[in-house]
Chains A and B, each alone.
Chain A
């Protein structure tokens, strides 16, 4: 099948999912309210933290908000595309994963198009609101080049975080566990990157830059856009964010396919 056909199919599959979710109007609104509340909560925590101390590792409140918003924006897209990957273990254990294998399309694609979480509008509303606010406060000059770079690094962020979700789900092929790995490893790691990496021990910074490249999701790109220094790392390393995203996602996809080959149905 051609790529175009896959696009067409993706939108057909998800539009059914979206319509289903919109049937529960109240639940839909509540979830968006909930998401915006908890992100605002983190922002308020940052504000109180800096109420007495002014700055955290040379980052001011507004700069930290900006850093946070970059992460939230790409995470929003990531939820739409990949968040349900963490639940692959349930499909394997219940034996329902087999239905993704018996259809004449790529199983990875089929699994990906299975779900489309509309509540991520919460992330978009929050992050765009923050971008506008911070741009006024810091008088950011949004040239075409900068806007384009932000867009590209958001794509990079989606691929990095999505790639990690894909790797976590692939673990289910070997261990029949994945959801738990998300909550143990990725959830805390995502929280870690809400704050500028410069405050962490060097080993942690190095790890989040080159092993699980979360630094390229928001810290490095935000440092480029805000013209901030990134000690211990080359200047403007943030420009590599889209490239890192592509490479990391390719590795993740390869691991997932490797796991799929190993997959044996649980039967029952």
Chain B
């Protein structure tokens, strides 16, 4: 039985907790802006004054990057992976295992809270101002906005499940450095977060389309700028749902094995 109210408490608590750590929120926003500056400058330089490249106008491309940075702010506002790994390393995770809730779900709902706080107090005001003052393209139809939000939310779930599954590998390996780096590389590149898939070499684009990462950034971004439209959107959402389900199963699988095999170091 899914006890929504129990998990909702974690969401509320995490929201309030973020409100206390104001400095964290501001500093995260600062580094998000530096990366936006970096990718905005890179794409401006790549287009080098051209109106369009690869069938996409400069304005749309810039919008793609801004939306992408917004989403990466959203995806990066939850409990950091190292914090959970540290809990495994120190053995604190055993305290969570003893309590009557499901640990992966508990962290997901806590993330909802801290992400909501970050969006409301930092991301939304800033990016609204940016959309007003920069030459960016906004979707004209309200349906597109809703589809974008739905798609971004599914993307968030995909990212959470995969990231958590990788993080839980620290139950099996004491040092996960190499594996986690491969994951972050795949996530930043194959998700199309900084380079949209249509600029990839053909073979790599095909590969990325068969992987779950595109659901995190590429699909919502492409919906926003209208690169994906009409029935294609529904198809993309279907793909995202499929990957959300698949990555949830992966997380369940890893979690079941991990919690069986818990090795607490020291005591």
Contacts and interface: CB of A to CB of B under 8 A. Distances in A.
Contacts of A51: 199-201
A26 B53 CA distance: 46
B177 interface: yes
Contacts of B182: 34, 37
A128 interface: no
Contacts of B41: 195, 199-201, 204
B46 A49 contact: yes
B189 A44 contact: yes
A48 B185 contact: no
A27 interface: yes
Interface in B22-69: 23-24, 27-28, 30-31, 34-35, 37-38, 41-42, 44-46, 48, 53-54
Contacts of A56: 42, 45-46
Contacts of A181: 27
Contacts of A31: 175, 177-178
Contact of B27 (A52, A53, A180): A180
Contacts of A24: 174-175
A37 B44 CA distance: 28
A34 to B, nearest CB: 4
Interface string A23-34: 010110011011
A203 B177 CA distance: 37
B195 A26 contact: no
A106 interface: no
A33 B200 contact: no
A200 B38 CA distance: 7
Size bin of chain B's contact surface = 35 or more
A250 to B, nearest CB: 27
B152 to A, nearest CB: 23
Contact of B181 (A35, A49, A53): A35
A129 interface: no
B137 interface: no
B42 A199 contact: yes
A45 interface: yes
Interface string A207-228: 0000000000000000000000
A52 B31 contact: no
A222 to B, nearest CB: 17
Interface centre among B30, B181, B204 (most CB of A within 10 A): B181
B144 interface: no
Contacts of A27: 174-175, 177
A95 interface: no
A56 B44 CA distance: 9
B195 A48 contact: yes
Contacts of A38: 181, 184-185
Contacts of B180: 34
Contacts of A187: 31
B194 interface: yes
Interface string B186-209: 001100001100011100100000
Interface in A182-198: 183-185, 187-189, 191-192, 195, 198
A68 B181 CA distance: 18
A37 to B, nearest CB: 5
Contact of B31 (A48, A184, A201): A184
A199 B189 contact: no
Interface of A: 24, 26-27, 30-31, 33-35, 37-38, 40-41, 44-45, 48-49, 51-53, 56-57, 177, 180-181, 183-185, 187-189, 191-192, 195, 198-201, 204
